[in-house]
Structure 1
Amino acid sequence: MRTHDYSPLFRATVGFDRMADMLDRVMTQDIGTSTYPPYNIEKTDENAYRISIAVAGFSGDDLTVEQRENALHVSARKAKEEEQRTYLHRGIATRAFEKRFTLADHVRVTGATHENGMLHIDLVREVPEALKPRRIEITSDAGVPALEGETA
Structure 2
Amino acid sequence: MRTFDLTPLFRSTVGFDHLNHLLETANRLDESALSYPPYNIEKHSEDAYRITMAVAGFEEGDLEITSKGQTLVISGKLRKEEPKVEFLHRGIAGRSFERRFELADHIRVDRAALANGLLHVDLVREIPEAMKPRTIKIEAQADPKLIESKAA
Shorter-chain TM range is 0.7 to 0.9
Spell out the pairing of 1:51-66 with structure 2 (5 A cutoff): 51-66=51-66
TM-score, normalisation: structure 1: 0.84
Structure 1 segment 1-152 matched on structure 2, within 5 A? 1-26=1-26, 28-34=27-33, 35-81=35-81, 83-136=83-136, 144-146=144-146, 151-152=148-149
Change in Cα spacing, 1:151 to 1:11, as seen in structure 2 (3 Å) is: same
- Taking structure 2 as the reference length, what is the TM-score of the superposition? 0.84
C-alpha distance in 2, partners of 1:151/1:7? 50
Q: What is the Cα deviation at residue 13 of structure 1?
A: 3.1
For 1:108 and 1:13, the matched residues in 2 are separated by 26
Identity of aligned residues (%): 50
Q: Which amino acid aligns with 1:68?
A: K
- Judged with a 3 Å threshold, the aligned counterparts in structure 2 of structure 1 residues 102 and 89 are, in CA distance, closer, same or farther, namely same
SS in 1 for 2:31: coil
4+ aligned runs moved over 6 Å, structure 1? 138-141
- Pair 83,18 (structure 1): closer, same or farther in 2 beyond 3 Å: closer
List runs of 5+ in structure 1 lacking aligned partners.
none
